[in-house]
Structure 1
Amino acid sequence: MTIRFHIYLLFIFIIATSSCNNPSKKKDRNKKQASVKIDTLPLQKADTIITIAAVGDIMLGTAYPNAATLPPDSGTNSLRYAINDLKDADLTFGNLEGVLLDKGEPAAMKLKFRSKPYLFKMPESYGGILKNAGFDILSVANNHSNDFGYLGRERTMRVLDSLGIYYAGLKTSPVTTFARNGIKYGFCAFSPNSQTVSLLDIPGAVKTITTLKQTNDIVLVSFHGGGEGVDFEHVPDSAQSFNGERRGNVKAFAHAAINAGADLVIGHGPHVSRAVELYKGKLIAYSLGNFCTYRSVSVAGVCGLAPMMKLRLTKNGRFLDGQIISFKQSHEFGLRRDTLNKASKRIKFLTETDFSNPGISISESGAITATE
């Protein structure tokens, strides 16, 4: 062999033994490269903050039995003092107490109210008022969604579809799903009333919520339940009835909903505000009372308190904080902002009274802070 070839073999041997005898350097180099890759990853989408505005019952005026129970301005100014707050959210929710319908007669089972304005039929054009006010999601599961039978339910759904407002809660439309800004939402609503998804069937509700959570980031649940009026401000730990009608065990329902995967549970139906609870890191508002209910719903005393909740959640549904914005209603002036914060103070009192450990604290001005 030539001298040049021997030098070449020696060179190869030195390189090979150097690599074999220093494995720690190789590992350290790989570890350093891996850490650089992790450090440069973008923030996960779970860190996204979502703002949700939520209110209770909305009934902008009824055309039944005649136009005397409609507002003089065709409802266009009903929400003017709340529009900025309603629109300042990623999602805005409310309970549509009644139907959107121009022509139609009451359902047969409702004829006992034939001479009274207790059947809620808003003109179809009022759907545009809700859209312009910023509402994205509406519950249509309540004791007035069947006031005008099949036609009332069908026309309401068509109007909301035409406006791009999502809804749920009827047997024919129990859930809805949609995506916004890369986040998938599922929404379902429940009520103990005819033609709605039953609040009384908790195992059925659990199945619905569990299914929604499998394919969505955030699951919102709405329920219409509990007794009505000033005697039903408090959240019981048992089932309630009202006028002979079963109104459900709202606490058992709300806890089961969270256990099944709900990220936010919003209640309505009692026509008064109720307490708020943080359960397993997820917020439950047991009733947001009346928000904008023209003439045919009592707004006397605490029934006239009209809270709006502005809540911040992460993409994985964890509650961060919130704010109760206090409004008030009167038949004379309609919906107005309340600088005395009576709605938030009432919810604070009810929360501290009904729950020994609600998981949150509420300030006099309505700030909601997690204490868990």
Structure 2
Amino acid sequence: MKMNPVLLLAFVSLCVADYPDMDHHKTIYISENGPRLFLQMEQSKVISYRGGNATLPCKFHREASSGNGNSQKTRIKWTKLTADYLKETDVYVAMGVHRKSYGSYHGRTFLQGASENDASLIITDITLDDYGKYKCEVIEGLEDDTGVVTLDLQGVVYPYFPRIGRYNLNFKEAQQVCQDQDSVIASFDQLYDAWRGGLDWCNAGWLSDGSVQYPITKPREPCGGKDTVPGVRNYGYRDKDRNRYDVFCFTSNYKGRFYYLIHPTKLTYDEAVQACLKDGSQIAKVGQMYAAWKLMGYDRCDSGWLADGSVRYPISRPRRRCSPTEAAVRFVGFPDKKHKLYGVYCFRAYN
């Protein structure tokens, strides 16, 4: 039996009214002939890097029976989705001649507008926080459709724990220490990609969705058992305030120069900070060393102070006495800051 569209609409609205405890609801308009407007996302993922630009594709089409539409009444809205899809952050809205970008996206987002049906979003001067999933929504009267595209960033994931030792960070502290090292807390997808690239780390760390996980490429007894398969071990979602772990951070390209400062003597930590300042730079951060090592192939067999008080050195060409078996950022530790035993790595930002 063919139901009258008006009666069908009333029926849907009645069903919604029968459940007053629902947090969110909306009236669903159902056309007798089905939807007449639909979106096409030409790519499911776009890859860029910090400081670069990206175009998130989104085009909308109308069935011939719906005519050409009215561009003045077409509303285009872009939002960023959280990992659980329960929340959205407004990014950009356009309707006719009216345009508005929101929050940290202000002044960095524009519609590509290659044709009247092009709703693709351009994001410029990309930041680490721009990584994630974006939703494109186009609305014309009672017709609407949505599509999702992921903005991925070239970069590197690394494990981190502070001077006070392992398993000492709650979730908020984990976010902050990554930020302090010119990074952000890594997502599961970023950690998974790092694991596929060979990252092996036997200490559990926070991820951006509030879960705690760690990547194992070489199964062994202390890391889930030697007879287990390689993979990303998952502790599940933990209490963000009470539970304490390490953290996995993510960083990408930077605008600046990372370098080992040639100095006639070894330095204490305070002397290292001052030496970089005297050279017109800042003492480098852990994320900057990882980015230089992973993305630029930086290689130096000299232990040097970093901003967090740790001493490390980056090896991209394994060799005897430096890192004989693998390319890695070698961790010396958190020595007494008064020890005059190390050089220093500096960073000079470009405007």
Q: TM-score, normalised by structure 1?
A: 0.23
Greater share of residues in helix: 1
Greater share of residues in strand: 2
Q: TM-score, normalised by structure 2?
A: 0.24
